[in-house]
């Protein structure tokens, strides 16, 4: 028996990195995996490798969200799990952050999560169940000096998670956030001072994408049935320092 048997799951930003690891693990655990991204060639390749379905979705596109959720519900009859994983990183201190960078990061990391939650909430509320997993960051737990827009967006994800969780709880829909530390993906390659960061992690290394996917699996599945509005940190001890 798989831990997600019978569950219809959508993962955004699933062409590569953590989203791809989540799609692979969810499909291996019996879930029906829908993968969304803007990197179409990589997304199609990942979907065919893991046995899922790829669709182009820019998470900041309101109409695109509605079209995709309609298609999922028409084909599979339901949507049980949404992982709002798509995200972008920009490194600038507050004083150097141009407005267009701030807007872009908020559009993808913040508006994208809001639109995703709002769109799936309809069918999930109707079904009386669902699990939404929002990927924030350790940057949403601490000050993120040098990545002002990114840190701001990840704190917003943490806040939206709690508010949505309280609003949706009585309809059987759970909403939680994951706060990864340093994860070995393309995004981490963009981080300045990555080696110094790595040395500061108590476990002494960055995580693999799969180590985050295993936490997302727990939150997506009914194993986490009493958790909602909560923060789950996967950071090798960094937040404890
Ligand atoms: P990644 O860059 O490999 O993956 C991000 C994915 O999101 C890419 O496939 C990208 O194409 C997609 N994406 C970007 N903009 C999009 C848009 N507008 N619409 C749809 N898809 C879009 O990085 P990752 O590490 O796998 O990141 C996954 C999540 O984890 C992100 O939300 C990121 O902020 C968060 N995170 C990453 C780290 C880390 O160290 N890598 C740490 C904390 C949090």
What does pTM read for this prediction?
A: 0.98
Ligand 1 close to Cβ of residue 188 (< 6 A): yes
Residues constituting the chain: 241
HEC string for the chain:
CCCCCCCEEEEECCCCHHHHHHHHHHHHCCCEEEEEECCHHHHHHHHHHHCCEEEECCCCCHHHHHHHHHHHHHHHCCCCEEEECCCCCCCCCHHHCCHHHHHHHHHHHHHHHHHHHHHHHHHHHHHCCEEEEEECCHHHCCCCCCCHHHHHHHHHHHHHHHHHHHHHHHHCEEEEEEEECCECCHHHHCCCCHHHHHHCCCCCCCECHHHHHHHHHHHHCHHHCCCCCCEEEECCCHHHC
Ligand 1 close to Cβ of residue 35 (< 6 A): no
* Cβ burial 146-159 (10 Å sphere, 16+ → b, else e): bbbbbbbbbbbbbe
pLDDT for the residue 189: 84
Task: Say how many Å lie between the CA of residue 131 and the centre of ligand 1.
Answer: 20
Assign 20 a pLDDT band (cuts: 50, 70, 90): very high
For residue 43, which atom of ligand 1 is closest to its CA? 9
Ligand 1 close to Cβ of residue 100 (< 6 A): no
Catalytic residue among 65, 89, 150, 155: 150
Write the pLDDT tens digit of every residue in 176-220.
Answer: 999 999 999 999 887 777 778 888 999 999 999 999 999 999 999
For residue 86, which atom of ligand 1 is closest to its CA? 7
Q: From atom 44 of ligand 1, which residue's Cα is the shortest distance away?
A: 137
Question: Is the model's pLDDT at 63 over the cut of 80?
Answer: yes
Write the pLDDT tens digit of every residue in 30-49.
Answer: 999 999 999 999 999 999 99
Q: From atom 10 of ligand 1, which residue's Cα is the shortest distance away?
A: 13
Ligand 1 close to Cβ of residue 116 (< 6 A): no
pLDDT for the residue 68: 99
pLDDT for the residue 139: 97
Q: What is the mean pLDDT of the chain?
A: 97
Catalytic residue flag (residue 54): no
Task: Say how many Å lie between the CA of residue 185 and the centre of ligand 1.
Answer: 9
pLDDT for the residue 174: 99
Write the pLDDT tens digit of every residue in 151-183.
Answer: 999 999 999 999 999 999 999 999 999 999 999
Q: From atom 2 of ligand 1, which residue's Cα is the shortest distance away?
A: 187
pLDDT for the residue 177: 99
């Amino acid at each position: 028996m798989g831990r997600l048997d019978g569950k219809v799951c959508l993962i955004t930003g699933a062409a590569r990195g953590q989203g791809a690891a989540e799609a692979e693990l969810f499909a291996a655990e019996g879930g029906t995996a829908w993968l969304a991204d803007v990197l179409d060639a990589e997304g199609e390749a990942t979907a065919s490798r893991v046995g899922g379905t790829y669709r182009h979705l820019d998470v900041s596109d309101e109409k695109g969200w509605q079209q995709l959720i309609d298609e999922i519900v028409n084909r599979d009859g339901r949507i049980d799990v949404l992982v709002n994983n798509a995200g972008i990183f920009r490194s600038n201190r507050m004083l150097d952050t141009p407005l267009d960078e701030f807007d872009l990061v908020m559009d993808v990391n913040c508006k994208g999560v809001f639109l995703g939650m709002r769109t799936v909430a309809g069918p999930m509320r109707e079904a009386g169940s669902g699990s939404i997993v929002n990927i924030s960051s350790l940057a949403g737990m601490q000050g993120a000096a040098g990545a002002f827009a990114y840190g701001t967006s990840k704190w917003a994800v943490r806040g939206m998670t709690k508010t949505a969780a309280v609003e949706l709880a009585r309809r059987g829909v759970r909403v939680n956030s994951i706060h990864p530390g340093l994860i070995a993906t393309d995004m981490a390659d963009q981080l300045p001072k990555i080696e110094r960061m790595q040395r500061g992690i108590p476990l002494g290394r960055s995580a693999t994408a799969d180590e985050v996917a295993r936490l997302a699996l727990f939150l997506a599945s009914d194993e986490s049935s009493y958790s909602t509005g909560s923060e789950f940190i996967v950071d090798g001890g960094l937040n404890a320092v």
